[in-house]
Chain A
Amino acid sequence: QPVLTQSSSASASLGSSVKLTCSLSSGHSNYIIAWHQQQPGKAPRFLMKLEGSGSYNKGSGVPDRFSGSSSGADRYLTISNLQSEDETDYYCETWDSNTWVFGGGTKLTVL
């Protein structure tokens, strides 16, 4: 089954851009993933589905500041014009036949 690897933390300045990475394990580089955002004390929120080609589809109401891209086994979530409300946790997700997997999550700090 696939394994998703995320950095535990990231930081960037208010108004700047940040690129979060989710890496797929060997043999799974073509897998589709999803990005989710989770604010403190709240349920996760689906941000986008992202393919190996770099094509992505965002969820309802997700701001234009959020975009996705891919390179090999790496899947990226880029947040532009960082706002204070973007400071929270981000998880990637994928699946394989009968198993679903989440990355360990990245805690984003907006400086």
Chain B
Amino acid sequence: EVQLVESGGGLVQPGGSLRLSCAASGFTFSNYAMSWVRQAPGKGLEWVSTISGRGGSTYYADSVRGRFSISRDNSKNTLHLQMNSLRAEDTAMYYCAKASFTNNGWHDYWGQGTLVTVSS
């Protein structure tokens, strides 16, 4: 059974940093691209970032490029999102999601999410 468990969310001041993690199990982690997708309160889903299965390719939404960094540790089946220079508009539930292919594809499994609140 595929399981994705996020952690690391919390309350942070504007300009601060936070590191999210996602522990994966139930599938061969290195064979699939992984993504972070967020959802601001009362809003729709917004893609944030994706990393290829081996970690060689990373992709970012314009809204976070240069501030966020995605990475993965295939030896530990773990995905990370380093978030710097956080802004109020980054406040959202952050979901870890598994892609259907090694480098891209639709998302076929989702974690339960971790909440990030950026406020002074």
Contact = CB atoms under 8 A, between A and B. Distances in A.
Interface in A35-93: 36, 38, 42-46, 49, 59, 91, 93
B106 A32 contact: yes
B45 A33 contact: no
A7 to B, nearest CB: 13
B50 A100 contact: yes
State the main secondary structure of chain B at its contact with A.
strand
Interface residues of A, number: 25
Contact of A43 (B50, B95, B108): B95
A99 interface: yes
Nearest to A35: B106
Interface stretch (A10-18, A21-29, A101-109): A101-109
Contacts, number: 63
A34 interface: yes
A79 B36 CA distance: 28
State the main secondary structure of chain A at its contact with B.
strand
B109 interface: yes
Contacts of A44: 37, 45, 95, 97, 107, 110
Contacts of B61: 99
A34 B59 contact: no
Interface string B91-117: 000010100100011111111110000
Which 8 residue pairs across A and B have the least CB separation, nearest first? A34-B106, A100-B47, A98-B59, A102-B45, A105-B44, A43-B110, A46-B108, A44-B110
30 contacts: A33-B106, A36-B45, A36-B110, A42-B112, A43-B95, A44-B37, A44-B95, A44-B97, A44-B110, A45-B110, A46-B106, A46-B108, A46-B109, A49-B108, A59-B108, A91-B44, A94-B106, A95-B106, A97-B104, A98-B50, A98-B59, A99-B47, A100-B35, A100-B37, A100-B47, A100-B50, A100-B59, A100-B107, A103-B44, A105-B45
